[in-house]
Each structure stands twice: as C-alpha cells, then as structure tokens.
Structure 1
Amino acid sequence: MQPIPAATFRLPVRPPFDWEGVHAYLAARAIPGVEAARPGLYARTVAVDGRRGTLTVTMARGEALTAAVRLPGPAPDIAARVAGIFDLAADPAVIGAALSADPLMAGLVAARPGLRVPGAWDGFELAVRAILGQQVSVAAATRLAGRLVAAFGPPLGQDAAEPGLTHLFPSPEALAEADIALALNMPRARGAAIRALAAAAAAEPDLLAPGQGLAAATARLTALPGIGGWTAQYIAMRALREPDALPTGDIGLLRALADAGGRPSARDLEARSAAWRPWRAYAVLHLWAHDAARLAESPPRPSGARRAAKVIPEQGAGCGPAGAGAKVSA
C-alpha cells in the first residue's frame, strides 16, 4: 500500500529557538515503533478520531517548522499539537529576563537563549512513559516503552513514509486490564500503576488535559497509586504545559546546583526556586542541560564505579537533553 499523500504546513517560530536541544531531548526518548528521529527530523505515528497516520517535523529556513501529516481526512488540530510538542508559544525573551534575576540562571540562559520545554503529542502516552522511567535510565525506559507498544499497541495499518513507524501507542482502554508487568518483566507495582493510570484516564477524559492549574493537576495525579511528586511534576511540565512545574527532589537538579559548599537539599531547591516563578519548568531544563554538560566534561569513573552506578537507583534523577547520568528518567 502506498503512503497517504502528505499535507504540509508551516509553523512560525519566535526566535531564538533551540531546535537542536528539543530534537536531542525527543530523540533520546523516541519510543520504538511510535517515534523516530534522525538528523534534522522528528517523526511519529498519530491517531485522530480513530484515523491512523504519521507526522514528520523539520526545521525550515526563515525561523519556522515544517510539518507534514499523512492522515485520512482532515486534521484541524494538528498544528496546535505540533506547537505544543515544540513549545512554540513560549516567549524566550520574557522567560529569559525573568530567570536571569538569579546569577547562575543568567549564565545558563545566555548559553542557551532559545531553550524550550519539550511537550508531548498525547498526555496519556507521556504519563505512561514517566512511570516506565521510574528508577531506570532513559535508555532502559525507552526499551520498556518499545516493548509495551509491541505488546499492546495497534499496528499502523499502512506503509509509513518514515522508516521505523509501525504502531500507535496503546490507548487507556487497552492498558487498563493488561498484564503489563508480565509482558515487560517489570515490578508488578509499576505495572499496576500504569493500569490504574489507564483506568483513571479512560474514566476521566480530562485527567491529563492542560489548563487545570498546577496544584489541582498534580493532586489528581498523586492520588493515583505509583505516582509520586516527581512523576506528577514531570507530567505537569511536559504534558500539561505547566510552566511553573518543578520536581524538587530531582537528583540532576540538585547536582547542577552543587557548588563549593556541596549539593543543596530539596528544601534548599524549593526556596531558591521562588525567584524563578512562574517559569520554573524552564529553569529545570536549563539545569538539566547544565548538569548533562558537566557530566560530559568530567573524567570517566573507574569501571567498578560505573557498575555500581548502574545498580544503585536514585529517586528523581535528572532528565537532561540526552539523559546523561540519569538513573530515574522519563
């Protein structure tokens, strides 16, 4: 079967725009079968009103993104959803000026003036991925997500123009009764958490809808089994587009703020973050990027230390652009 012809549209970008940073973040977390990334391009499968297709996004000349969607019938909300993935509504000048009141953040903003908070095509997909990322690395979470899709995701049902796109992400209804722990060989409590999230999302369609407010949204999420503060804040930051979300216990954030006096506590981070309001989610991305850069520059640890690091999980570790050093990630 030949691929469906693409409908192409252009989305203006408010400069500066860190395409490389957003692309690297999404590429490191691309779910096998559902997402694909290669230099200059991000692609994924999509479903709109039961119709299945694919989407590709590239950076165009003239400060814009070009999106191409292959989907039977009209898709009037595609542009808005692409804009959410790449955080095109952000005003980097306003955000950068506010964060720069903190001297450390001023330097980070100057280094990455076009930074965005990567969003998500679908809130449920992002929330499931966040649970899968608890206490494992970014790479391990990606593999688990791929196995989940292979086990429970519906096939695309057409030849995709982009290699590697084969399945849609499973729906809440498909996962609500699934034996996820058995299929993925993972802790039963984590599988139960995904089932509980799926059941709640199926029963409450607005559970993962933006616009609820940070406190209300995270309260609903943490009421579900297996979702703590870090996971709820991460979901709020990326899926719910809450610009002030902050996972205060995140190891990567605390590590990024370490100085000659040592690493701050979660309480210290909470206090310091008051100066970053209402843009704390952007401070998070700056700090994760800063932490990843410092880790990349640090000397390699002895092999024994590397082996130990792989088996000692850190609750709430950072999720920098490529997940460097993260033990708990999404």
Structure 2
Amino acid sequence: INVSSPFRLDYVVWALRRRAHNEVDRFDAGCHRRVLCLASESAEVTVRQDPAASRPSLIAELRGPAGTAGRAAIAEVGPVLERTLGLTVDLAGFYRVAASDARLNALAARSRGMRPPCFPTVFEAVVNAVACQQLSLDVGIHLLSRLARRFGPAVPGPVTRYGFPAPAQLADVEPTELRALGFSTAKARTITSVAGQVAAEALDLEALRDADDDRAMGILLGLPGIGRWSAEYVMLRGLARYHVLPGDDVGARNNLRRRFGLAEDAGYDAVARLSRRWQPYAGLVYFHLLLDALAARGYVGEAG
C-alpha cells in the first residue's frame, strides 16, 4: 500500500491505541496488529511500514481463523485500513497552519508523519467513549480490552487474538455481564442499548459519516448516556471530523496547559477560543498533543 509522504505508522498506531495495554490495537516489532470483524469473516491484519521503500509504503498481511484469509476478506480490508490509519488524509493544510504558530509548529515537527486515526466503525467509537467516561484512560483501556476478550471475534493461533465486538455480539448481552468486567451499571446499559438498536437496524451509526455536524451531534446526544464530551469524541475519532477538539477532554486540557499556556481554570469555552486559530485542524492538534504526552512516557520517539 503506497502512502503519500510524510507518514509514520508508529505515530498513527499510538494515536489509535493510546496505551501499551490496549489488546485490540497492538504494536510490537514495528507491526500493527488488529483482529477485524469483517462482513465475510473475522481476520487478523498485520501492517508494517517497509523501511527499504523510497516513499512511504505499507505491507499488510491477513490471517483468518483457518489460516489464509479468503478473497472477500482481502477485498474488504483495504478500505478499513485506509480509514483506520488515515492513509488518504492530506496534512498539507495543517502544516501550513502550524507554520504560522511557533509552538504548534514545534509540536507538529516532533510528530511529523502522524495521520489522524479513526476507529473502523462508529459503534466502536461510541463504546470507547462510554468506557472512558469519568475514568482515567488507563482504566478505560483495561475495560475495552476485557470487553474484547469476553465478547469479541477470535482468531486462533499460538496466542488467540480478539477483536472489538460487533453490535450483534453485544446486543443480547445482559448488563450484569458487563458489570462483571468492571463497567458501571449505567455504562453497561448504554452499551447494550446502543448495540441492540444497531443490530436491529433501528439505529444506523455509519450513516452519520454523511450527516452534517449539527445532525450528527444531535443524534449522538440523543443516545442514552452520551453527553457533550462523548459526542465530540465520536465526532473526532469515529466520524473523522478533524476540526473537532473535544473541549471537555481532561487530558486535552492538561496538554493544552502544558504546551500552550491554557489557564488552570479554563473551561470548555476557553478551549474553543484557543482552538479557533487552528481551524479547520483543531482535532489534529488534539492528536499531536496526545503523541507528545505519549512521547513523554517513552512510548514513541521523535521524528527523524
């Protein structure tokens, strides 16, 4: 898979996985691994960046439950990777905006080649948002990994790997089963309710990709247990609305304080005012701030 320059797979994957204990999105030995719940079958995709290529190039391998994945799965996986890894996102405009802001320019240079990731499905983005509500990201990722191990599609091998559950795999789950994994009662009810609606085709979350911002936000806010932070999180990470910077995001606010001098008592409106200067790329600033924080933890290195 040829990709325009600059591109760094490690940056994209870390912006997607967020924490080292994420079992849905794994990254080791330079390879991104994820089990995908495709229409034809569940399969594990392994993606690595070719270090010998003269321009950014990715090599993807697909493994199904019986070994070699079928032709239908191979045909399906390309568009999924394109969306998930932001392969067609043009960053030229963002880099032009960054060049006019010294602090943002330095931040962008440190993670040059990062493309904004997007969850494969809007449903996965919704469940990620719900899992991480009012919890540390560390705890939220643990909950999501447990959810995948318990209900997600499995691809056997030397080590069985699990993917993120599809709505149909959670639609008939009792909230008490999610409570046993550590989810609160309210979160368990939200997840099973949304899963049931999507599985019954009473709710089409994927159609939100074509909706305008107001309609998408309105539908998301109408879901049980979804408030402003969760809706904006889904807009950015599930609908690829890269102008959206979730203004209630505690981690983002902390990062904005550290790198851009946001006041300690700054609220949602202050974040919105600060981020106006970066539009329509405020969401890309969010991802670069995340990578900056991950680099401080030693997870990712700076661009060479």
- How many angstroms apart in 1 are the aligned matches of 2:143 and 2:104? 34
1:271 is matched with which residue?
273
Q: Relative to structure 1, is the Cα distance of residues 255 and 77 closer, same or farther in structure 2, using a 3 angstrom cutoff?
A: same
Give 1:1-330 correspondences, 5 Å limit. 11-27=1-17, 28=19, 31-32=22-23, 34-60=24-50, 61-62=52-53, 63-70=56-63, 71-75=69-73, 76-156=75-155, 159-160=156-157, 164-180=159-175, 181-202=178-199, 203-204=201-202, 206-209=204-207, 210-258=209-257, 262-263=263-264, 264-292=266-294, 296=297
Percentage of pairs with the same residue: 26
Letter in 1 for 2:179: L
Question: Deviations along 1:86-129, whole A, 9 cap, x unmatched?
Answer: 11112222221124333432222233222221222233223212
**Do the aligned residues in 2 keep the contact of 1:123 with 1:239 (CA within 8 Å)?**
yes
Question: Deviations along 1:44-64, whole A, 9 cap, x unmatched?
Answer: 212322422221100113211
**Do the aligned residues in 2 keep the contact of 1:45 with 1:165 (CA within 8 Å)?**
no
Q: Report the alpha carbon displacement of residue 205 of structure 1 after superposing the two structures with TM.
A: 5.6
- How many angstroms apart in 2 are the aligned matches of 1:232 and 1:261? 23
Question: Deviations along 1:257-281, whole A, 9 cap, x unmatched?
Answer: 3266833332111012222121121
Q: Relative to structure 1, is the Cα distance of residues 230 and 165 closer, same or farther in structure 2, using a 3 angstrom cutoff?
A: farther
Q: Report the alpha carbon displacement of residue 40 of structure 1 after superposing the two structures with TM.
A: 0.5
- How many angstroms apart in 1 are the aligned matches of 2:118 and 2:100? 26
Letter in 2 for 1:199: G
1:317 is matched with which residue?
none
TM-score calculated relative to the size of structure 2: 0.82
**Do the aligned residues in 1 keep the contact of 2:21 with 2:142 (CA within 8 Å)?**
no
1:307 is matched with which residue?
none
Q: Report the alpha carbon displacement of residue 204 of structure 1 after superposing the two structures with TM.
A: 4.3
Q: Which has the higher helix share?
A: 2
- How many angstroms apart in 2 are the aligned matches of 1:261 and 1:169? 35
Name the SS for the 1:12 alignment partner.
Answer: coil
List gaps (5 residues or longer) in structure 1: 1-10, 298-320, 323-330
Structural RMSD (CA): 2.6
Question: Deviations along 1:147-202, whole A, 9 cap, x unmatched?
Answer: 2223323443xx34xx5443343221332332234332331011111122212322
**Do the aligned residues in 1 keep the contact of 2:130 with 2:187 (CA within 8 Å)?**
yes
- How many angstroms apart in 1 are the aligned matches of 2:21 and 2:239? 19
Q: Relative to structure 1, is the Cα distance of residues 165 and 238 closer, same or farther in structure 2, using a 3 angstrom cutoff?
A: farther
Name the SS for the 2:46 alignment partner.
Answer: strand
Name the SS for the 2:205 alignment partner.
Answer: coil
